[in-house]
Amino acid sequence: MMPEEDEDQFYIFEVSSMATADFAACMALASRVYGLFDKALADRMLAAANKAWGWLANNPEYVGFQNPEGCNTGQYEDETDVDERLWAAAEMYVTTGQEQYADVIRKLMGEAIGCTDFGWTDVSGFASMAILTDENQTASDDIVSYFTKKVMKEADALLAIQSKNAYELGMVVDDYVWGSNMVVANKGILLVLAGYMTGQSKYFAAAENHLHYLLGRNAMDVSYVTGHGSNPFMHPHNRYTICDGVEKPMPGLVSGGPFKDFCDQTALGQIPKGTPPMKCYLDNNMSYSTNEITIYWNTAAVLMTAGIL
């Protein structure tokens, strides 16, 4: 059904340390952005960030999330909140300049954490972005050096992978997971960040190769963005697109893309076993494991593209 026809009960579930830290980070970042246009709203956002941070400070241990009994929606398990807390501390530090957040960052820097990913299971790359793109240069040299080394090591590793890839893509076999196009975009974001830090065009060019892939330079010869490119995919696994009565899908939707372990019945019936990972894709609205739509795949593509432009 279309969204406006859905009158079922709406539920808000219990608190978790991951969601609370994400909220603190988003509100701190948003307060900086909206402070340029609407100070009253920015102040409300920072107050909300402070409230969320207060909860985190009073609950220093991991507080996970599980679906309540009777709920069967996606649970999105996450076994650690270290990356979320690091991101929250970084955004709070850049926003307020208060050293208490620098102390938390230094403490979390001792954890085994990559600081180069922008996915839902690992948001630590956003901590790197907050620190390294801060025009006020709030962070001290030791913190900046820590994040710089992490980002540049991964960026150079991606350049090496691209040099051996026929499509000039920084992807390896294990990267073709459910939602592999998010991985493509996230790697592009990392390369954009490296370019921003160094001013070197090779990183921006490498990021642009990831955008080329999304728009059709791939083994399927298909653009994974509806309405864009010479051969865009047409049948996303997206409920309102399926039932809106319009033949063409809404433009600008990013497909999850090839998944080497495709698992829905439609894909299992049509993609032969042994198919190369980049070709494990089906443009079919019932193939949820290769052609699903999510907001966090779209946002990754938007951020990467904005950085390239």
Give per-residue pLDDT as tens, 102-151: 999 999 998 989 999 999 999 999 999 999 999 999 999 999 999 999 99
Output the CA–CA distances (angstroms, integers) from residue 210 to 159, 275, 290, in the order listed.
Answer: 12, 22, 18
User: Does position 12 have pLDDT exceeding 90, yes or no?
Assistant: no
Domain ranges of the chain: 15-63+80-139, 148-309
Question: What distance in Å separates the CA atoms of residue 102 and residue 125, rounded to the nearest whole number?
Answer: 17
pLDDT at 82: 97
CB 215, CB 225: distance < 8 Å: yes
Question: What is the CATH architecture assignment of 148-309?
Answer: Alpha/alpha barrel (1.50)
How much is the average pLDDT of 173-181?
98
Question: What distance in Å separates the CA atoms of residue 105 and residue 164, rounded to the nearest whole number?
Answer: 36
Q: pLDDT band at residue 54, thresholds of 50, 70 and 90?
A: very high
Which residue type occupies 266? T
How much is the average pLDDT of 167-172?
98
CB atoms within 10 A of CB 19: 18
pLDDT at 71: 86
User: Does position 230 have pLDDT exceeding 90, yes or no?
Assistant: yes
User: Does position 176 have pLDDT exceeding 90, yes or no?
Assistant: yes
Question: What distance in Å separates the CA atoms of residue 153 and residue 146, rounded to the nearest whole number?
Answer: 11
Question: What distance in Å separates the CA atoms of residue 285 and residue 290, rounded to the nearest whole number?
Answer: 9
User: Does position 187 have pLDDT exceeding 90, yes or no?
Assistant: yes
Q: pLDDT band at residue 13, thresholds of 50, 70 and 90?
A: confident
Among residues 245, 250, 237, 243, which one has the least CA distance to residue 285? 237
pLDDT in tens, 264-307: 999 999 999 999 999 999 999 999 999 999 999 999 999 999 99
- Rounded mean pLDDT of the chain? 96
Intra-chain end-to-end CA distance of the chain, in Å: 37
User: Does position 16 have pLDDT exceeding 90, yes or no?
Assistant: yes
| pTM > 0.75: yes or no | yes
Question: What distance in Å separates the CA atoms of residue 185 and residue 175, rounded to the nearest whole number?
Answer: 12
Cβ partners under 8 Å of residue 248, min gap 6:
226, 227, 234
Which residue type occupies 107? K
Rg (C-alpha) for the chain, rounded Å, is 20
